[in-house]
Amino acid sequence: MAVKTAVKEKEKERRAIITVRNLSVEYRTHRGIVKAVRNVSFDVYEGEILFLVGESGSGKSTLGFALMNLVPSPGYIKEGEIIYHLDGQDIELRKLPLEEQRLFRWKQVAMVFQSALNALNPVLRIWDQLYDTIQAHDPNITREEAYKKIKYLLSMVRLDADRVLKSYPHELSGGMRQRVMIAMALLLDPKILILDEPTTALDILTQKNIIELLKKIKDELGLTMIFITHDLSLAAELADRVAVMYAGKILELSDVYTIFYNPKHPYTYALIKTIPKLTSIDEELYPIPGSPPDMINLPPGCKFHPRCPYAKEICTEKEPEFEQAGPNHYVACHRWRELKFER
Amino acid sequence: MSVGKKAKNVLYTFVVDPLKIIVHNKAGLIGFIGLLIYIFMAIAGPYIVPLDTIPKPEQRYLPPSWEHPLGTDFEGKDIFSQIVNGARDVLFVAFLAGTITVLIATVLGSIAGFKGGLWDNAIMAVDEILLTIPQFPLLSVLAALTRLDNFTLALVIGVLSWPALARAIRSQVLSLKERDFIEAARALGLDAKHIVFTEIMPNLMSYIVVSWILSMTGAVYSQVGLVFLGFVPFTSHNWGVMINLAWTWGAIYYKNSVWYIISPIMAITGFQLSAILFSRALEEIFNPRLRE
Amino acid sequence: MSFKSVVGKIYRNFLVRRILRAFGVIFVTSTLTFFIIRLMPSNPIEIFINQMMAAYGMSYQDAKALALALFTIDLDKPLHQQYIEYLINLFQGNLGRSISISPGTPVMDIILAFLPWTLFSVSISILASFVLGVITGIIAAYRRGGLFDKVMSTFAAIISAIPGYLIGILIIVFIGVQYGLINYMRGAYSAGIRPGFNLQFISDVFLHLAAPFATYVLSTFGGWMLSMKASTISTLGEDYVTVAKAKGLPESRIRTQYVGRNAILPLFTSLAIQLGFIFGGSVLIENIFVYRGVGRLLWSSINARDYTVMQAVFLIITISVVVSNLLADLIYGLIDPRVRVGE
C-alpha cells in the first residue's frame, strides 16, 4: 500500500515533456504502403526513462525518428501531432521553419544510434565530428571553449580525450565508439535523449559497461530518456515506464514494476517469458510462436491474434481500443479483464 | 530432385522469370528487342538484303528514298545493304571476344578466389598489370606488328580484357566462400571443384552474363576503332570500314553525304545501347535489391 | 613510439607501396615491349632490316648496322645483356632514334614535342568530366525521380553507350561542318600562328581544344554521373548522415563533409580503369581532330612503320596511365583515412 501511494505522489509531480497524439507514419515501397506507426498516442514525462520495446519491424525505431521529425525517405509522417513542452512553450517540431528545426535538434533532443561504427562519419576525425556539432549551434564559440566542453564530456564517459580526438572512427573499439556517441549526444546539454538500441551491436561486457554509464548519466544529469530496444530484460535495469509495441501500435504501457509483475497483454507476457532466468538453469525458454506480421498486409482485428494463444472471434474482427487498466496502466486487448497470467 | 524437375527449375530461373521481368522493364525490353534485331540482321540479313557491290557513279550520295532507305555512298552503292551486311562481322568479333573474356576471367578469377596464396598473388599481379596497360594502344601496336584477322583480333581482345571481370569474380568468390551454405557443403565433405560448379557458379551466373554483354560492347569499341584507323586490313564489309571510307572520302564535308557517315555510327550506337540497356535489366533481374 | 609517428609510418608505407607498384607495372610493360620488339616472329628489327634491303638494296650487314644504331641495341650480344642495356638506356631516357617520321632524331625529342599536348588536353578533360559528373550525380541523387534526374540519367546512359570517337565524328559533322567551325577542329593550333606565350596563341590553343575536350567530356561524364548518383543514394541512407541531420548541422556541411566526401570514394576505384581507357581513347580522338599529341604520333608511327617511335609512344602512354593512377591513389589515400592502414 505504501508503494502505491508513493507512486501516486510521484504521479502528481509528473509533467509531460512530450505529448504524442494519433501519430501515424508510413513508408511507400514498391510492394505497397508500410504502416510503420499506426495512430499512436502517449506522453513522455519529464526526467523519466521510457522504454519502447518490440520486435524488429514493430515501428519502434520509426517512432524514435518521428520524434525528431527525421523519418528516413521514403517514409513520412501521415498524421498526428508531436508536441514538446519545453521552457513553458508548446512546440510542434514539424510546424517550425527548417532552420529552427535544425537548431532545435540536438539542442533539445539528441539521439544515440545502434551501431556507432555506422553512426560516425568514417572520413572525419572524432574531434571534427564533435566540434562541428557545437559549432552548428553556436558559431561564435572558440576552439578552446569547445575543447573544454568536449574534454569534460569525454571524461564523463571515461575516455581519454587526447587519444580519442585525433582518431578516426575505425581506429576505436566498438565500446569506445559508443561512448563517443553518448558524449556527442550530451554535448549540447539536451533535455531529452533518444537511445535506439544503443547496446545491441556490442559484446556482453561492453554492453554492461554502457548500461552502467547510462545509469550514471541518469542519476547525474536527470534528463529524459527514451530507450528503444528489442530486449525487455534491459528495461528491468533502467526503465521507469515501458511501452510494448507490436505492428506499429503500443499494446501496453505502464511502469516497469507493473509490466513485469502484472502484465495485462498476452504479448507482454510472452515477451517476459522469452527472457532467460539466471536462477534456474534447466528452465525452458519460450520463444513466441509464429513471426511478426507482414506490415503491408496486416491481419484484420487485433494484429497479434494469429500468434495469440488466447485469441477469440472478436480478436479477428475488431482492433481493440487502448484502454486504461489501472492507474497509469494502459492496454489494448479485448480480453485483458479476463486473462490471468501465472508467474 | 529428378532431372526433369531440375531442368524445369533451371528453365524458370534463367528463361521464364527473366522474360517476365524483361517485359515489365521498358528499357530492358527495348534493349532486348534491339539485340534480337541485330542478331537477326547478322544471321539472316545477307540473304534478305544482298550487299550492293555495283558502283553507280551517277547515283552518288542520294538522300534516303524507298529504293535506298539510307541513301547511297560515294560510289552510288546502297548504304542500307552495307549496314545490314556489316552486322555479321562486328557481332562475330563481339561475340567471340566477349566469350573468351568471360571464360578466362571466370577460370582465373575463381582459381584466385578459391586457391588463394601463391595462385591468388600471381593471377592478381598479372591482372593488375593488364588492367593498367591501356588496351587500345596495345592493340594498335600488335596490329602493326602482326596481321590481325577477325578471329585473331577477337582472341587478342579477349586475352586482354579479362582483368576487371576476373577481379570482380574473385571478390565474389571470396565473399561467397564465407557464406554458410559453402561452409555446410565443405562440412559435408564435398570437394572444392564440386563446390565451385554446383554451389558457387549459379550465384555468379548473373554477374557473368552481365559482364559477357558488357565485354561485347568493349570489343565493338576496339574493333571498330582499329578498322577506322586502318590498323587492321579490311577483310570484309563492316561498320568500321564504312566509317573509315566515309572519313577518307570526305563524306563529313558535304550536306548530302551526312547519311553515309551517320548510318554506321547509328548502327554501332544502337547495338551498344541495346546491349547496355539489356544488361542493366538483367542486373535487376538477378539482383532484386536494385528493383524499386 | 608516439601515436602520431605510428600513423605517419603507416601512411608512408602506403605511399611506398603505391610507388613500388607503379614502378612494377612500368618495369613489366617495358620488359614486355622489349621482348615483343626482339622476339616476335616478325619483330620490327627484322622487318626493318628486310625493308632496308629491299627498298635501298643495302647489304644485310649495312641494314643491320643501321638498325642497331636506330634501335640502340646490339644484336650480337647475348639476349640478357641486350635486355639489361635496354633497361639502362630506358632509364636514361634514351629510346633510340626515329626511323622514318623524322629520320635520325632522338625519339625522346619527338615524344617531348607531342606529349605535353596529350597531357594538357586529357588532364583538363578528365578533371572537368569528373567534376561535372560528380556534381550532376549528387544533384540527381538528391532530386531522384525528379525531372532533372530523369533527363540527366537518360542522357548519361545514352551518351556513355556511344564510343568516344564516334561522338567526335558527330561533333565534326553536326557542329564543325554545319557552323563552319571545322578549322578549329583540326590540329592543336592554327597553322599560321607562331607558338609563344601571347594571348593570340593561347586563345587559339583553347579554341582548338574545345572539340576534343567536348568529346572526352561527353564520352566519360555519363559514367561518372551514374556511379556518383548510385553512390550518393546509398550514402544518403547511411546512419552517419541521419546523425548529421539529427545533430542539427547546416545542410551545406552535411552535403560536403558527410555525403559528398563519402560518396566520392568508390569512384576512385574505377578511376584506374577509366584513366587507361581515356589515354587509350586519345589514339582515336586525337586522330579525328588531328590533334598533335602522342595518340596522333602513335598513328603516324604505325603508318610510317617507325617502330622505334611506336614502341616509345606505347611506353609513354602506359607510363602516363601509371603515373596518373598513382596520383589518383594518393588523393584517395588523403581523403579516405581507412586505406592508409592497409587494404
pLDDT of residue C290: 86
Question: Bigger pLDDT: B55 or C205?
Answer: C205
Distance CA A302, CA A315 (A): 5
pLDDT of residue B153: 86
Q: Please indicate if any CB of chain A lies within 8 Å of the CB of C5.
A: no
CA B63 to chain centre: 32
List, in order, residues 6 or more apart from C188 with CB less than 8 Å away. Answer: C117, C121, C205, C208, C209, C291, C292, C293
Question: Bigger pLDDT: A252 or A32?
Answer: A252
Cβ-nearest to A136 among C3, C249, C262:
C249
Q: Superfamily assignment of B21-53+68-291 in CATH?
A: MetI-like (1.10.3720.10)
Nearest CA among B57, B52, B88, B58 for reference residue B70: B52
Helices in chain A by DSSP H: which ranges?
2-13, 60-67, 98-104, 116-119, 126-137, 143-156, 161-165, 174-186, 204-221, 232-238, 256-261, 266-273, 313-317
The ranges of chain C with pLDDT < 50 are 341-343
Distance CA A68, CA A111 (A): 9
pLDDT of residue C130: 92
pLDDT of residue C217: 93
Shortest distance between the Cα of C192 and any Cα of chain B, in A, equals 22
Are the beta carbons of C239 and A113 separated by less than 8 Å? yes
Cβ-nearest to A121 among C3, C236, C258:
C258
The answer to whether the CB of C154 falls within 8 A of the CB of C136 is no
Distance CA A128, CA A132 (A): 6
Percent helix, percent strand, percent coil in chain B, to nearest 5: 80, 0, 20
What would the pLDDT profile of A22-52 be if each residue is shown by its tens digit? 899 988 877 778 888 888 888 898 888 999 9
| Residue range B252-275: mean pLDDT, rounded | 82
Report how far apart, in Å, the C-alpha atoms of C115 and of each of B274, C74, C107, C110, C169 are: 37, 28, 12, 9, 23
Cβ-nearest to B140 among C42, C277, C298:
C298
pLDDT of residue C215: 92
Q: Taking the CA of residue C168 as centre, how many other CA atoms within 13 Å lie in the half-sphere pointing to its CB?
A: 28
pLDDT of residue C259: 92
Q: Please indicate if any CB of chain A lies within 8 Å of the CB of C335.
A: yes
CA C232 to chain centre: 26
pLDDT of residue B191: 66
For an interface test with C, which of B135, B141, B146 has the most C Cβ atoms less than 10 Å from its Cβ?
A: B141
pLDDT of residue B210: 80
Strands A224-229 and A16-28, how do they pair?
A: unpaired
CA B271 to chain centre: 9
Q: Any idea what the Cα angle at residue A149 is, between residues A145 and A154, rounded to 5°?
A: 145
For an interface test with B, which of C181, C302, C318, C319 has the most B Cβ atoms less than 10 Å from its Cβ?
A: C302
For residue B92, the tally of other CB atoms under 10 A from its CB is 17
Cβ-nearest to C163 among B144, B224, B258:
B224
State the pTM of this model: 0.82
What would the pLDDT profile of C136-175 be if each residue is shown by its tens digit? 999 999 988 889 988 998 899 888 888 888 898 888 888 8
Q: Please indicate if any CB of chain A lies within 8 Å of the CB of C240.
A: yes
Band of residue B1 on the pLDDT scale cut at 50, 70, 90: very low
- Which sign does the torsion angle of CA B64, B65, B70, B73 carry? negative
Are the beta carbons of C25 and B129 separated by less than 8 Å? yes
pLDDT of residue B143: 83
- A223 pLDDT more than 90: no
Residues on chain C touching B224 (C-beta within 8 angstroms):
163
Distance CA A65, CA A56 (A): 15
Shortest distance between the Cα of C23 and any Cα of chain A, in A, equals 29
pLDDT of residue B55: 72
Assembly ipTM: 0.84
Q: Please indicate if any CB of chain A lies within 8 Å of the CB of C28.
A: no
Helix (H) or strand (E) holding C206, with range, is helix C199-236
Residues on chain A touching C338 (C-beta within 8 angstroms):
122, 168, 170
What would the pLDDT profile of A129-158 be if each residue is shown by its tens digit? 999 889 888 888 888 888 988 988 888 888
CB pairs under 8 A between A and C: 80
Residues on chain C touching A133 (C-beta within 8 angstroms):
247-249
Residues on chain B touching C182 (C-beta within 8 angstroms):
253
Distance CA C129, CA C220 (A): 7
| Residue range B166-171: mean pLDDT, rounded | 84
Band of residue A179 on the pLDDT scale cut at 50, 70, 90: confident
pLDDT of residue C139: 93
Determine the length of chain C. 343
Distance CA C259, CA C240 (A): 9
Chain A: which residues have CB within 8 Å of chain C? 65, 68, 70, 72-73, 102-107, 110-111, 113-115, 118-125, 128, 132-133, 136-137, 163, 166, 168, 170, 184
pLDDT of residue A319: 84
- A304 pLDDT more than 80: yes
- A2 pLDDT more than 50: no
Highest mean pLDDT among A113-117, A308-312, C77-81: A308-312
Cβ-nearest to A122 among C246, C262, C341:
C262
